[in-house]
Amino acid sequence: MTERGFAIYGKGGSGKSTIAAALSSSFADLGLRVLHIGCDPKADSSRALVRHGRIRSVMGVALSTRLLDASSVLAKGIKGITCVEAGGPEPGVGCAGRGISRTFELLEELGVSLASYDVVVYDVLGDVVCGGFAVPMREGHARHVAITVSGTGMSLFAANNIMRAVRRFHRNGVRLAGLIGNYHTGEAFRDRVPRFAAATGSRVLVDVPFDPQVQKAEESRTTICDWRPRGATAKAVRLLASRLLELGDLPPPRPLEPDALERFLAPVRTRKRTAR
Ligand code: ADP
Ligand code: MG
């Protein structure tokens, strides 16, 4: 298991790639050798790290040629960060989760040693935690999982599901590092995030504000930490990096049962009524 393997899971659109790429950049700033692995079939996780050209995904290369070597799937990013995109099958054909497990098999076959990096950052789609999407934790790649949430019901549904997977793999050494509150869709449900953390025996690692500069950084194919290094978002990501490097032992999360999650999400008035 990569002791410093950090998987960022979360609902689609919750800011995983934005935060994961900025996190890799912050780790590199600390002088660490970083491997960044995008495990989303969209294969867009390392766009901000590899600024030129298209990154060939492992599945894309594997489907198009039989002569696969490590250099065809490892891209050199800024600050010496090595980037890999798992990619996925043709849209509408095949199973995306399977693409992720195949990617890890291929990396091993190609002799890519995850252990030769100081940190490995995984950016993983978390709307579904089928066997394939659980590979980074199930097969002992990522030791720690952090989940991006905005506080909306859908983001917490996804987080709760991810926690169920983390809990299942706790005995294999997987730990929930905590939640990353990212409020780019608004602050309306922000107060739910610490309450959800408390209810599930987790914690909030860091709060990331809405930041219009994030889109500008994205358009310029750079991370927010490199675009506005003194801004609040960059500060939050650097704080996240330092917190992740200092994690002690962590208890298994306690995901909510479906009814308890519904009660948690119910507006206060409805909650009182159901309690009667
Ligand atoms: P995911 O990888 O979870 O699907 P992304 O990182 O691609 O999500 O983010 C989705 C969109 O939200 C992107 O357009 C991104 O620029 C924007 N975004 C994410 N975080 C923030 C933020 N803190 N402030 C402003 N926009 C953000
Ligand atoms: Mg993404």
235 is catalytic: no
Q: Which domain holds residue 185?
A: 2-40+120-265
Would you tell me how many other CB atoms lie within 10 Å of the CB of residue 76? 12
Domain membership flag for residue 165: yes
Specify the residue with its C-alpha closest to ligand 1, atom 21.
Answer: 184
Q: Please indicate, yes or no, if residue 101 is contained in any of the structural domains.
A: no
Query: Which of 29, 42, 44, 118 is the catalytic position?
Result: 42
Residue 126 lies in a domain: yes
Q: Is residue 276 part of a domain?
A: no
Per residue in 230-258, is it b (16+ CB within 10 Å) or e — as a string?
ebebbbbbbebbebbeebeebebbebbee
Whose CA is closest to atom 27 on ligand 1? 184
In short, whether 214's Cβ falls inside 6 Å of ligand 1 is: yes
| Domains identified in the chain, total number | 1
3-state secondary structure of 4: strand
Asked if residue 205 is part of any domain, the answer here is yes
Largest CA distance in the chain: 66
Residue-wise pLDDT for 117-164, tens only, equals 999 999 998 776 666 677 778 777 889 999 999 999 999 999 999 999
Tell me whether residue 77 is in a domain: no
Instruction: Note the pLDDT tens digit of each residue in 29-79.
Output: 999 999 999 988 788 899 999 978 778 888 888 777 665 788 888 999 999
Structural domain includes residue 99 = no
Check which CATH number belongs to the domain holding 135 and give it: 3.40.50.300
In this structure, what token pair is assigned to residue 102? 């195949």
**Known catalytic membership, residue 16:** yes
Within a domain: 254:
yes
